[in-house]
Structure formats: structure tokens, C-alpha cells
Amino acid sequence: MRIRSYDTDKAILYLVATPIGNLKDMSFRAIETLKSVDKIYAEDTRNSKILFDHYDIKTIYESYHEFSQEKTSKIIEELKNGMKIAIISDAGLPIISDPGFKLVKDAIDNNIAVSTIPGASAGISALISSGLVAMPYTFYGFLDSKESKRKEELNDLKYIKHTLIFYEAPHRIFDTLNNMLEILGDRYICIARELTKTFEEYIRGNISELLKLESLKGEMVLIVSGYEEKSIITNKFVQIDEFISLGYKPNDAIKETAKMLNVDKKELYKEYIDYKNNKLR
Ligand code: SAM
């Protein structure tokens, strides 16, 4: 199915990028589009009003949440009636850890043109200045808020060689870093904080080093180096000791390390005991 975006009289759904902290990151085209459409749907109208007032955007607007199927159907009806509509989220690109996916899907299913007005997005912006290998990368967004689910997700990501991009909230950052250390190993990471704002900051180092920080506040992206056999486990015994220092019982530490390395846990147990005995001699 081919759909041209700019057949002038036809309905169109614009996905418009908005700034991730610095109002000046709004593009000319984004402003123009928001001024010219018939209606804007915004994730949180209180936040977007600041943007509208700043750029003198007078278009009518309404709120839009991912989970409102009723609202999605209403927007599709408006598009079918020929309206030009823009959706925006609170920051950055709609859909990227933000609402809008179902609407885009339904618009495409109804043969309606969908077009992106590009601009800032926190993940990619953080990636390119992190200093970590930029390609290939895996963008993950937010890990689950429940620890058990978060650990499962990290286990699924453990052997991916790509640089990993995560979003995280400040109240969960240390829990997440601890889970990453436990499951991914002591990888090199970059935390990009408060991008485009006055207190923008990049914090680089191994996970264990960053865990020593007293606090981490503000909005942040985590860029995590990908799986590398050498870097994840320089020495299997060091890895076991590391698990033990994190509070694991020795047997569980050996079990986890064996799982990580895909080796027999009984063999590893014997090797570890020998290693410890030799060290004591
Ligand atoms: N749609 C947005 C985008 O395109 O990046 C992401 C929205 S998501 C709900 C919000 C998360 O993005 C924050 O919790 C944080 O992890 C990240 N984020 C947004 N703005 C940021 C900024 N200025 N600096 C660092 N991270 C930011």
C-alpha cells in the first residue's frame, strides 16, 4: 500500500516532535504545522499550553491518552472527515515511550496519511554524545517498574551485543543500576541527565562506580555498553566473588555465574573451591 503524505486536500495525521527541555529546540516546521492543522491532540494539555503560548499557536487542542480507545476512534472519524490533525507528547517524539501507536496503526489501516515532523528525542540525543558505540543499538525505553519483571527483561537483553538505550525515572535509578550490575555485569555506561537544560550532565563509568554516587536526579537516559564476553566476565571467579559481595549465598553466586557462562554449575563449583584453596595456601 502506497500513501503519499502531501496530497494537499487529503486528511493527514502529523506526529510532531516537541522539545525535551529547551523550548528553542522546536523546529520552524513543527511550529508551522501546529499552527496550520485543524486540531492538535496533546498528551497533557497543561504542559503543551506553555509551548503554544510561547510560539503563539492558537489551534484548538484536546488531550489524548494511549489507552482511550474511544478517543482513538473519535480521531480516526475526524481524519476520515478530511481533517488535518497533529499529535504531540509532553516531550520529544510521540510514540517513543509515549502515547500514539494505536492511533498511527488505525490511521494506516484506514488509508490515512501519517507523517512525522522530526525533532528532539532523548534516547538518540543521549546515544550520540555518550561516547559508546552508536551502532548497532537497541532502544528499550523504560524497564518494568516491578523488580521481578525488570530482572526478567534484563536477562532477555543480557547477550545482546548492541549498545542498549534505556529511559529511567530518578526514584528507580539505583534499583535499576543494581539489577543491571547483577544481571549484565559491571558494564561501562553513560547516564545523560537533563539533556538540553541548564544542568545537562553526562556521567560515565562502570555501573559499580556510578552506584557510589549519592544521588541522581532529573530526567535521564542510560546508555549501556553491549554484551562482550571479555568485558562482562574477565574472570569467572571474580564474577562469583562479585555476586557474593552483592549479598548472594556462595552456592547461588556459583549457580548464577554458571548460568551466565552457560557452563556446568557442579564443575564450576569444584573449580571455584580449588581456586579458593590455592589462594589460601
Ligand atoms: N517521547 C520522549 C522522547 O522522544 O525521548 C520520551 C518520553 S518518556 C515519557 C520520558 C523519559 O524520557 C524520561 O523519564 C527520561 O528517561 C527521558 N527524557 C526525556 N527528556 C529528557 C531529558 N531532557 N534528558 C534526559 N532524559 C530525558
pLDDT confidence tier of residue 108, bands split at 50, 70 and 90: very high
By most ligand atoms within 8 Å of CB, the mutation choice from 47, 97, 164 for ligand 1 is 97
Q: Are 157 and 164 in contact (CB under 8 A)?
A: yes
Distance from the alpha carbon of residue 230 to the mean position of ligand 1, in angstroms: 32
> How far is CA 39 from each of CA 14, 82, 110, rounded to the nearest angstrom?
10, 12, 19
pTM equals: 0.83
Sorted by where each begins, the domain ranges of the chain are 12-120, 123-224, 236-280
Average pLDDT over residues 43-50: 93
pLDDT confidence tier of residue 13, bands split at 50, 70 and 90: very high
Distance from the alpha carbon of residue 167 to the mean position of ligand 1, in angstroms: 7
Average pLDDT over residues 88-96: 97
Average per-residue pLDDT in the chain? 92
Secondary-structure class of domain 12-120 per CATH: alpha beta
Share of the chain above pLDDT 70, in %: 95
Distance from the alpha carbon of residue 44 to the mean position of ligand 1, in angstroms: 15
Distance from the alpha carbon of residue 148 to the mean position of ligand 1, in angstroms: 24
Residue 14 confidence (pLDDT)? 98
The residue whose C-alpha atom lies closest to atom 11 belonging to ligand 1 is 167
Q: Taking 70 as the threshold, does the pLDDT of residue 8 lie above it?
A: no
Distance from the alpha carbon of residue 22 to the mean position of ligand 1, in angstroms: 12
Residue 68 confidence (pLDDT)? 80
Residue 235 confidence (pLDDT)? 66
pLDDT in tens, 223-261: 999 998 654 445 678 788 888 888 889 999 999 888 877
Q: Taking 60 as the threshold, does the pLDDT of residue 186 lie above it?
A: yes
Report the atom number in ligand 1 closest to the C-alpha of 123: 5
Question: 153 — alpha (psi -120 to 50), left (phi > 0) or beta?
Answer: alpha
Q: Taking 50 as the threshold, does the pLDDT of residue 32 lie above it?
A: yes
By most ligand atoms within 8 Å of CB, the mutation choice from 95, 221, 224 for ligand 1 is 221
The H helix count followed by the E strand count for the chain is 12, 10
Distance from the alpha carbon of residue 77 to the mean position of ligand 1, in angstroms: 31
Average pLDDT over residues 10-32: 97
Q: How many residues does the chain have?
A: 281
Residues 6+ apart with CB under 8 A from 215: none
Secondary-structure class of domain 123-224 per CATH: alpha beta
Window from 29-43, 133-147, 250-264 with minimum mean pLDDT? 250-264
The residue whose C-alpha atom lies closest to atom 20 belonging to ligand 1 is 20
> How far is CA 205 from each of CA 26, 130, 141, 212, 223, rounded to the nearest angstrom?
32, 11, 21, 11, 11
Average pLDDT over residues 187-195: 97
Report the atom number in ligand 1 closest to the C-alpha of 95: 1
Q: Taking 60 as the threshold, does the pLDDT of residue 281 lie above it?
A: no
Average pLDDT over residues 184-209: 96
Q: Ligand 1: list residues with CB < 6 Å.
A: 20-21, 89, 91-93, 96-98, 121-123, 167-169, 192-197, 219-221
Distance from the alpha carbon of residue 60 to the mean position of ligand 1, in angstroms: 26
